[in-house]
Amino acid sequence: MIRRQLYQTLFELNASPMIANRLQAFAQSNMSRHLIPSFAKVYGIDVDEAEQSIETYPSLHAFFTRHLKEGARPIDSQENSIVSPCDGKLSVVQDITDDSRFEVKGQTYTLAELLGSQQEARRYAGGTVCVLYLSPRDYHRVHVPLAGRVLSHYELGDRSAPVNEIGLTETVRPLSRNYRRITRFDSAAGTYEHIMVGALNVNTIAWTLEGEQAEKGEEVGYFSFGSTVVLCFEKDTVQIDREKIGPVRLGEVIGTLQSS
């Protein structure tokens, strides 16, 4: 029970910045490696999928950001498919209004506040937004749902409120205020936004893509502690399967390109 509470403070709750920073420093220390077996047990992590045996990870953080064995997450290869960019819970698939708004857990967001640009927000009026939440048990490296070329890449926000089922229902508006990395891709679906939203009091998003081109399912970054991926597509370009709302895994089909 004590260890579960520690993990919840590390990865799920909104601890004070000082406490969170100390706990995260501990998670990155060599001492924390002793907690890896219990962490995996508490969250039901399939350790056989990890690239290395759990005894070889030097810290809890290293295990949390682990790579998986080759083939553990096959990427669907159909030309018209859109795949999940991560393990997690597809919690929102919603049409974007004509004035570029959408709703998450009872809170209305505008794309202008999410993207930091009213001009770019207009591009997605009438389009589709997807929100995927990663829990502590998930593989925390993030990939792309479609092959594409990076058009722009920038950072916004300085808060780090929790972006979980609790945080999304509170008034802190984490999707538009938290630290986030926004990448605009040109793809077979036209232009789309790939947004990684950080959480838990520190800026914990690493970008790993080298160059400007990413193939479908290619890794582009990872979360150290949390959080959420938001995808925004233009109008009449994709059809996301709403029956996929719920747990999904990287590479799994969540939608298709619309025929022109």
Residue from 32, 84, 140, 143 carrying the catalytic annotation: 143
> Are the C-beta atoms of 152 and 171 separated by less than 8 Å?
no
Query: What span, in angstroms and rounded, lies between the C-alpha atoms of 146 and 188?
Result: 8
Cα–Cα distances in angstroms (integers) from residue 225 to residues 25, 128, 138, 206, 239, in the given order: 12, 27, 11, 11, 31
Which letter, b or e, does each residue of 97-123 get, where b requires 16 or more Cβ atoms within 10 Å of its Cβ?
Answer: eeebbbebeebebbbbbbbbbeebbeb
Q: Catalytic one among 87, 138, 160, 187?
A: 87
Burial of 209 (0-12, 13-18, 19+ CB in 10 A): middle
Quick check: is 87 catalytic? yes
β-pair partners for 89? 133, 247
Active-site residue, 59 included: no
Contact 194, 231 (CB under 8 A): yes
Q: Are 185 and 108 in contact (CB under 8 A)?
A: no
Active site residues: 87, 143, 227
